[in-house]
């Protein structure tokens, strides 16, 4: 008698052969999954008391903080959880760039970049919902960039706004999108894991052989659990002691179309792209550069074939990677600076270096293959 075995997803996940040499940088994916679940859970409870009515929206947020039992904690955890999510997302992308995961796992990388795009969209529409001054004017400035699209731009902006300016229709649409998009991110994360487990995870040396591999459980489940505790501790410290350290003071004022903030800027995780946008005097050129700063990640897997060995430990690759990290940090700082000299002039070479380093990363694997052949 033959016994029919059924597929057990939990058994397949926990018994997944994993390289024994996983460093701490491989915890990023599981931490991001935990943060995503926490954001969905806290967002669900906040939506029960949130009012998407521009005359009462700001008051409803104050009501959540002051009157709802534990509402202040849910709100602080949700707001700071978004910042931690992007912090670990950038670390996760940086780890993929450093170890050239886009060569060994191209489909996983492509889905991951799509998750990055969806996360940026979710964070942007969510930033508008408290209806503070910076939220309102940030939405006005960013959505107005759509008008740079030739021919259809002005009509597309009015369609997004649902009128001639950011208003009630815009708020309703952004609230609906902010509620739906995280579930789409969850679905894409499942596809991300599916492609990852199709070949298995790599180790820092880029090897994917089944030699010296151990089951995922209990070796790495406990390691992930320790990572969860550390992140939750960070989140609680922010929520209890420094709830507004990553926010903008302008959002303590209710949105007003009659008063423009002195310095309009997005959240810190968008500042690098914002610096690229505003350093280009042409509006359409700035929008193209803004989109290209993210889209460039899609081109990395096409830089090499599947049979190539990652060259991440070569001195040239190390030099390019760490210079790219430095440029990213400088652009983030410049995005928070006022629109005046010398910050505008300094952003121009940093933008050129940003795209130049990515161009080098894209061309390097092919060049390296020719050198060693």
Decide if 275 contacts 332 (C-beta within 8 A).
Answer: yes
242 and 269 assigned to the same domain: no
288 and 216 assigned to the same domain: no
Domain around 303: 265-372
d(CA 239, CA 129): 19
**Contacts (Cβ under 8 Å, ≥6 apart) of 161:** 143, 167, 169, 170
Q: Which residue has the tokens 């996760």?
A: 92
334 and 241 assigned to the same domain: no
Q: Does 192 show up as a binding residue in the annotation?
A: yes
Structural domain includes residue 14: no
pLDDT of residue 192: 92
48 and 105 assigned to the same domain: yes
103 and 144 assigned to the same domain: yes
Q: How many other C-beta atoms are found inside a 10 Å radius of the C-beta of residue 315?
A: 7
Q: Does 217 show up as a binding residue in the annotation?
A: no
169 and 252 assigned to the same domain: yes
Residue 111 Cα to chain centre, angstroms: 13
147 and 291 assigned to the same domain: no
Q: What is the CATH number of the domain that holds 241?
A: 1.20.810.10
pLDDT of residue 362: 84
Q: Does 263 show up as a binding residue in the annotation?
A: no
Structural domain includes residue 9: no
Q: Does 92 show up as a binding residue in the annotation?
A: yes
> Residue 185 is encoded by which pair of tokens?
């991110």
Decide if 167 contacts 54 (C-beta within 8 A).
Answer: yes
Structurally, the chain folds into a number of domains equal to: 2
170 and 230 assigned to the same domain: yes
Q: What is the pLDDT along the chain (373 residues), one digit of tens a residue?
A: 445 455 455 555 555 666 666 677 778 888 999 999 999 999 999 999 999 988 999 999 999 999 999 999 999 999 999 999 999 999 999 999 988 888 888 899 999 999 999 999 999 999 999 999 999 999 999 999 999 989 899 999 999 999 898 999 999 999 999 999 999 999 999 999 888 877 766 666 655 555 566 666 666 677 778 889 999 999 999 999 999 999 889 999 999 888 888 888 899 999 999 999 999 988 899 999 999 999 999 999 887 654 555 556 678 888 899 999 999 999 999 999 988 888 988 999 999 999 999 998 888 765 555 554 5
pLDDT of residue 308: 53
274 and 246 assigned to the same domain: no
The residues assigned a catalytic role are: 197, 201, 223-224, 267
pLDDT of residue 344: 87
d(CA 350, CA 328): 8
104 and 142 assigned to the same domain: yes
Q: Does 78 show up as a binding residue in the annotation?
A: yes
pLDDT of residue 209: 57
Q: What is the CATH number of the domain that holds 291?
A: 1.10.287.980
Structural domain includes residue 366: yes
pLDDT of residue 365: 61
239 and 305 assigned to the same domain: no
330 and 247 assigned to the same domain: no
């Amino acid at each position: 008698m033959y016994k029919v075995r059924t597929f057990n997803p939990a058994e397949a996940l926990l018994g997944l052969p994993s390289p024994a040499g996983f460093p701490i940088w491989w915890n990023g994916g599981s931490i991001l999954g935990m943060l995503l679940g926490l954001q969905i859970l806290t967002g669900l409870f906040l939506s029960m008391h949130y009012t998407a009515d521009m005359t009462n929206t700001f008051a409803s947020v104050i009501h959540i903080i002051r009157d709802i039992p534990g509402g202040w904690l849910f709100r602080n955890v949700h707001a700071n959880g978004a910042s931690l999510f992007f912090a670990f997302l950038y670390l996760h992308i940086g780890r993929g760039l450093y170890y050239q995961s886009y060569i060994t796992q191209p489909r996983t990388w492509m889905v991951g970049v799509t998750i990055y795009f969806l996360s940026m969209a979710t964070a942007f529409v969510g930033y508008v919902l408290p209806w503070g001054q910076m939220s309102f004017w940030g939405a006005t400035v960013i959505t107005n960039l759509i008008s740079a699209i030739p021919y259809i731009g002005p009509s597309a902006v009015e369609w997004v706004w649902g009128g001639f300016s950011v208003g009630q229709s815009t708020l309703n649409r952004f609230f609906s999108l902010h509620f739906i998009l995280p579930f789409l991110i969850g679905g894409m994360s499942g596809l991300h894991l599916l492609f990852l487990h199709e070949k298995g995870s790599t180790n820092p040396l880029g090897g994917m052989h089944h030699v010296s591999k151990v089951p995922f459980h209990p070796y790495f489940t406990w390691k992930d659990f320790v990572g969860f505790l550390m992140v939750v501790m960070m989140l609680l410290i922010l929520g209890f002691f420094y709830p507004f350290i990553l926010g903008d003071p302008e959002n303590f004022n209710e949105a007003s179309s009659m008063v423009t903030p002195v310095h309009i800027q997005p959240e810190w995780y968008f500042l690098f792209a914002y610096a690229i946008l505003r350093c280009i005097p042409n509006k359409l050129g700035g929008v193209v550069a803004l989109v290209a700063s993210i889209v460039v990640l899609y081109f990395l897997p096409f830089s090499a074939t599947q049979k190539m060995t990652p060259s991440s430990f070569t001195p040239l690759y190390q030099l390019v990677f760490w210079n790219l990290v430095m440029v990213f940090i400088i652009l983030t700082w410049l995005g928070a600076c006022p629109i005046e000299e010398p910050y505008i002039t300094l952003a121009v070479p940093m933008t050129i270096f940003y795209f130049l380093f990515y161009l080098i990363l894209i061309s390097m694997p092919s060049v390296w293959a020719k050198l060693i052949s």
